[in-house]
Amino acid sequence: MRFYFKIIIFICALGSGVDASAQSDSSVAGLIKQGVELNNQKKYPEAAESYKAALALEPDNVQANYQMAFTLFSAGKNKEALPFIEKASKGNNPKFTAAAYSLMGSIYQSVNQLPNAVNAYKNAIKADGSNQRIYYNLGIAYFKGKLYGEAEQTFATAIELDSSDAGSTRMYALSAFHQNKRAEATFGFCRFLMLEPNTPRSAEVYGNLQNILQGGVLKPEPGYREPRDMSSADPGNKVLTKALAGVANRKYATSADLLAAQLKSIFNAVGNIPVEKYAFWQSLATYFGQLTASNNLPTFARYISQSAKPESAKWLKDNPDKLSALKNWVAVTKPAFKVL
């Protein structure tokens, strides 16, 4: 399984390009500008020399320290970057401070110092709570540390800030799946496949979805301790099991027809789950309930299975009117996510 943290790049307002006069500009601003251009060209040693010269003039310059840290991090010199990003985080501009702490989190995460990464991302959120990428990165740190409950909530917040972010949606579903919250994971996987139906990640997610629909569960990983109120006690699992039992003994012409029937049964069954405790899940449930009522579910089943089922891809090609109807519904109907 691959997942990536997202680097927040803070480019100071120094213009673009380096002309002859800029190259001879020995001011702090000029040296930083030269360094940014060299970094963009992946000339990391040369960029570091420019920032070193700038810092010789102003050791506490937050922009020079940030850019030096970013260049060292880009060059794979992660530990060497830490003293510079520490200084960069002392600035007074909230968005710059957030970017500095986020980069600090990415550096700590790259050397597997996950508690330090979590603290850095939390400081970034304190500085700028509107930056969706910081929540995504924090969620990745939690997930890598097997803190799946915290990861789930963090990715949910990331999705609330950007409902079209497929990466956060995938990780939200995986976080639920790793807690054996199979119904919740089903909704997350379906939403991801709606956003990203035909990529290598789609095939992996479709496999996870099929695992759930066929009654599978993930075995607990070494080092993960399941909270007492999760797993088999989760009410969604009971709802899911009952919903799937209702279609298990019926015959279907195609695997896509079976998938549509399974999803319809699940989507129609979730209304009995308490809203108070599962607000974000209920946002997904409401959304997919609307999809079921729109009569687009048979098309949706083929749309999300096209990465794994050639017959589904062919069906979509042969039925452009139905595919267009689904896409129009998706474009008009937006999920209203709510996080407690």
DSSP of 232-243 = GG-HHHHHHHHH
CB 241 within 8 A of CB 214: no
Query: How far is it, in rounded angstroms, from Cα 200 to Cα 313?
Result: 15
Task: Mark which of 96, 122, 145 sits at the end of a domain.
Answer: 145
In the 8-state DSSP scheme, what is residue 219?
A: P
pTM of the model: 0.87
Give the residue from 129, 145, 161 where a domain finishes.
145
pLDDT tens string 106-125: 999 999 999 999 999 999 99
* 224 inside domain: no
State pLDDT tens for residues 211-230: 999 986 666 655 555 555 44
For residues 81 and 88, the answer to whether their CB atoms sit within 8 Å is no
Taking only the tens place, the pLDDT of each residue in 43-85 is: 999 999 999 999 999 999 999 999 999 999 999 999 999 999 9
Sign of CA dihedral 223, 229, 235, 241: positive
**CATH (domain of 140):** 1.25.40.10
On the question of pLDDT at 269 being above 80, the answer is yes
Q: How confident is the model over 227-267, as pLDDT tens digits?
A: 554 444 577 888 899 999 989 888 999 999 999 999 999 99
Residues 95 and 158 in one domain: no
Q: What is the DSSP letter of 88?
A: H
64 in the same domain as 4: yes
Residues 287 and 243 in one domain: yes
Domain residues for the domain of 202 are: 150-218+229-340
How many helices and strands (H and E) does the chain possess? 18, 0
